[in-house]
Every structure is written in structure tokens, then in C-alpha cells.
Amino acid sequence: MTTVVSFIIVLGILIFIHELGHFLVAKYSGVGVERFSLGFGPRLFGIKVGETDYCISLIPFGGYVKMVGEAPDEEVSSQLKPKSFTHKPLRVRTSIVASGPLMNIALALILFPVLFMMGIKVPSYVDGPPVVGYVEEGEPAERAGLRPGDLIVAVDHKPISTWEELTKSIALSPEKSVTLLVRRNGREFTASITPTTSREGIGVAGLYPPMRPVIGGVTPGFPAERAGLRPGDLIVAIDGKPVFHWVELQKTIKKSPEERTLLIERDGRRFSVKLKPRYNEELQIYLIGVTRLEEFVTKSYGFFESIRMGLVKAWELTVLLFVIIKGLVTGVYSIKTLGGPIMIAQVAGRAAESGLADLISIIAFLSLQLGIINLLPIPVLDGGYLLFFAIEWIRGRPLSEHFLSIANQIGMALLLALMVFVTWNDLVRIFTN
């Protein structure tokens, strides 16, 4: 029940904000609005105020604002022409169409800072001393000579005392040389490191905080569960080689389907288990089905810091979205990774059970994605109409009604096909799990 209610709330907020953008700019521009509907299809109930019918419709996956003279071929009396969308200047029509997705983006840009002010769950090591737990082979940190156990005491001559400070310094310096003051065995020395750029556009150096290879969760149906592993188990060694860090475990498991022998410590005693990793087509790696035990703390930030961090988070998610789109087009990512309304409902349900902050986080994330995707130049989406308006501006006259009709039909067919596909993906995940 929580899942259904949460899904309705999240989807309702996203649709309402989107359509409210269209509605407010249309009314401000003097365009008549005949209907403001949450949902498609038959009208269930509502209220009419003035010329506008505010209603809830049967099919909840969307909404619309019906404006006077919205369709190019719609007959509009001379009396209503001043209120007709089609008869408004191009800049007015453009602003009305763009306002929907921009409202979704604006909502995200408001909610992300609110989350940081409310307090977000962060790993407990964030406030701990910046002691290096693991150095990834071939990455900038290894090339700079850093080792596990090193304590980073300053970045670019500025003293630091937490992993959060170190992470920020590296993240904000992609492709830039950074000077670290390192303490090792009581001796201090400097190391120059040049972080590379991650797919999210931030700097990474192959440095990890201490992460003991302790199991936090076991996925049903995976090799780890069948081998009898449990949350709290410490993985001491793989194939006789000691393991000191969770990343070592990940790197060893994900690269090969070979059967592995794991030395496990549980309640003070040690024993061995054998298991064979399972290949995951979506991630294109081998998995045994375990997650790391991690302690979290809730951390709040000040007003201005929250705004800065909220904007950074929005930018990272925007970059990541386009990286994923590019990966789907080029085949780097499998289209089986796409989720639909069922997945959204499940995520919303889990977020609601976790608390208000997690629910707001999901709304902010989905609102940002919805706003950006709606701006893509695809027929039927707002971005498609903006593309047609751009062509109209260049040509000096609108595109033909026949062309617009065909383009929108193709766009609608593609959109419906995508909806069917992602829903099928959701069902496959449910029954596979």
C-alpha cells in the first residue's frame, strides 16, 4: 500500500509542477486555458472555475493543459483569437512550451539544497581522518606514490582533517595538478597528483578510504546466498590471497567467472566456501551477490553551502544522464537497464519507508530527469515543439500541418513503444528476482 500511495504522490507532484508551468505562463500571456488535467483519458472529477476545467482523469501517467487554439487546424472564432495559442507570437508560444520542463528543473534546484539543509545520510568515514585505505592500480594516486596507511594532512598547502575535505578537493580539480602533503610513518613529504575526469565530470584519483570487506547484505538467488554467506561475515582472503579492502574483493570477483575460494570469519571462527560468480548482462561484470556493510551518519549543511552542493549535485546528475543516453545509443549500456513506472513505484515506496528526506530526494531526482528529457528535440515532447518553433523562426513561417501531424504520430508511437518496453523490463526483473 505504501508503494502505491508513494507512487501516486511522487507522480502527482511531478505532473502537477510540469503542467503548472505551462498553465501559469499561458495565463500570464493571455492565452485561454480550457482544461488543466492531471492524467489522460476520461474525466473522473473536477471543478470548473471561469473558463478552465480543473480535473483528474482516468490514466495517471501524465497530464495536460488544453489551451484555446492549441492545434494549428483548430477553428477559432474571431472573438477568441486574442486568446488563441496558435495566434500568439513565436516567443510567447516558445515560452509557454518551455515553461513545463523548466518548472521541473526549477523544482529540483530548490529541493536539492533543501535536502542538504535537512541533512543527508553520508558514510561515517566522511568526517573521519583522510587516511588512505586503498590505492587503485594505474590511477593518479598510485602514480604519485601514495600507499594504504598514508595520512593526507594538506591539499595545495591548505590543512585538511576529514575525508570530505579531501574528496571535495579532488572532485573540483579534474585534469589539474594538486599538491598533497602526506604523512607516512611519522615523516612528511609532498606528492603531486593530477585527478582524471570521471563520466560525471568530476575529478577522481583512485583513492579510497578504509573499507573493511564485511558483508552488509546478501542478494537472494545469487551465489553468495547459496554458499551460506550472511550479513556480518568478514572476507579474510580469496584463493589464499589476503583481502584488506572491499575494492580488492570487487576487482577480483568482477573480472572472471572462475570458481573462487573465500576464507570467511564469523563470530570468531574461520571457514572456507567455494562459489562461482554469476555474469550480470546489465553491468557486464561478474557478481556473487553481496553488498558492503556501511555505517551512515546524517550530516546537515548551512544555507549557502547547501545551495552550492545542490547545484553541484544537479550538474553531476545532468552530466550522468547524457552519459547514459550516449551509452545506450552506442551500445555501452544495455537497454535492459531502463526502468519504467513499476520501478519508479518500487523506488518511491522504499524511499517513503526510509523517511521524508529520501522521498524528497527521489522527487528531486525524477523532476530533474523529467525536465531535461522533456527538452530533448523529440516529437510529442516539449523539446520537439521547441525544435519546430526554431525551424519556424529560421524559415519565417510555420511547418505544414501535415508534417507536424506525421512527426507527432511517429513520436507518439516511439514513446508508447518505449513505455511498453520499460514496463516489460520491470516485469522481467520482478519475476527473475
* Residue 337, pLDDT score: 64
Show the beta-strand stretches assigned E in 111-266.
120-123, 134-135, 151-155, 158-159, 178-184, 187-193, 196-197, 203-204, 207-208, 215-218, 234-238, 241-242, 260-266
* Residue 412 pLDDT class (50, 70, 90 cuts): confident
| pLDDT tens-digit series, residues 141-191 | 999 999 999 999 999 999 999 998 898 888 888 888 999 999 999 899 999
Quick one: pLDDT at residue 145?
A: 92
Calpha distance 430→425 (Å, rounded): 9
Q: Is the same domain home to 268 and 224?
A: yes
Domain boundary among 208, 230, 246: 208
Query: 194 lies in a domain?
Result: yes
Spell out the residues 6+ positions from residue 361 whose beta carbon is closer than 8 angstroms to its own.
111, 115, 120, 351
CA angle 235/240/244 to nearest 5° reads: 40
* Pairwise CA distance, residues 372 & 319, whole Å: 11
- The domain containing residue 129 runs over which residues? 124-208
CATH number, position 243:
2.30.42.10
DSSP, residue by residue, 29-78? TT--EEEEEEEEEEEEEEEEETTEEEEEEEEEEEEEEEETT-STT----T
Average pLDDT value for residue range 398-415: 82
128 and 160 fall within a common domain: yes
- Secondary structure element (H or E) that encloses residue 202, with its range: none
pLDDT at 91: 92
Q: What are the helix (H) ranges across 331-400? A: 341-354, 356-374, 382-395
Range from 223-232, 276-285, 286-295 carrying the lowest mean pLDDT:
276-285
Residue 160 and residue 201 in one domain:
yes
**How many residues are there in the chain?**
433
Nearest to 11 by CA among 334, 362, 252: 362
Q: What is the pLDDT of residue 333?
A: 62
Cα separation values, 234 from 21, 222, 269, Å: 52, 18, 10
As a whole number, mean pLDDT of residues 265-277 equals 91
Q: What is the pLDDT of residue 375?
A: 92
Residue 193 confidence (pLDDT):
92
Count CB neighbours of 351 within 10 A: 20
Query: Does residue 184 sit in the same domain as residue 199?
Result: yes
Does any domain span residue 359? Answer: no
- Contacting residues for 425 by C-beta, under 8 A, at least 6 apart: 336, 338, 339, 340, 343
- Nearest partner of 119 among 347, 312, 302, 349, judged by Cα: 302
- Average pLDDT of the segment spanning 106-111: 95
Number of domains in the chain: 2
User: What pLDDT score was predicted for residue 432?
Assistant: 56
Residues 152 and 133 in one domain: yes
Mean pLDDT of 372-395: 89
> pLDDT by residue (tens digit) across 200-220?
667 889 999 998 999 999 988
Q: Do 241 and 199 reside in the same domain of the chain?
A: no
The answer as to whether 273 is a domain residue is yes
Q: Are residues 204 and 222 in the same domain?
A: no
- Max Cα separation, the chain? 87
Mean pLDDT, to the nearest integer, of 419-432?
66
Q: Are residues 199 and 242 in the same domain?
A: no
Is 361 a member of any domain? no
CB 315 within 8 A of CB 198: no
Inside any domain, residue 25:
no
Q: Which of 282, 301, 330 is the last residue of a domain?
A: 282
Tens digits of residue pLDDT in 32-84 = 998 999 988 888 999 999 889 999 998 887 888 999 888 766 777 777 788 88
* C-alpha angle 308-312-314 in degrees, rounded to nearest 5: 115
| End residue of a domain, out of 193, 208, 223 | 208
- The per-residue pLDDT for 426 is 63
CA–CA separation, 254 vs 222, rounded Å?
14
Q: Answer yes or no: are the C-beta atoms of 192 and 144 closer than 8 Å.
A: yes
Tell me whether residue 245 is in a domain.
yes
Q: Are residues 220 and 194 in the same domain?
A: no
Q: Which tens digit of pLDDT belongs to each residue from 312-365?
A: 889 888 887 887 777 777 776 666 666 666 666 666 666 666 678 888 888 998
Where is 100: in which H helix or E strand?
A: helix 90-118
Q: What is the mean pLDDT of residues 230-235?
A: 92
- Lay out the sheet containing 151-155: strands in order across: 158-159, 151-155, 178-184, 187-193
Same domain, 202 and 245: no
86 lies in a domain? Answer: no
Question: Residues 187, 157: one domain?
Answer: yes
Catalytic residues: 19
Is residue 301 one of the residues assigned to a domain? no
Say how many Å lie between the first and final Cα of the chain, rounded: 21
Mean pLDDT of 357-383: 88
From 86-95, 272-281, 412-421, the region with the lowest mean pLDDT: 412-421
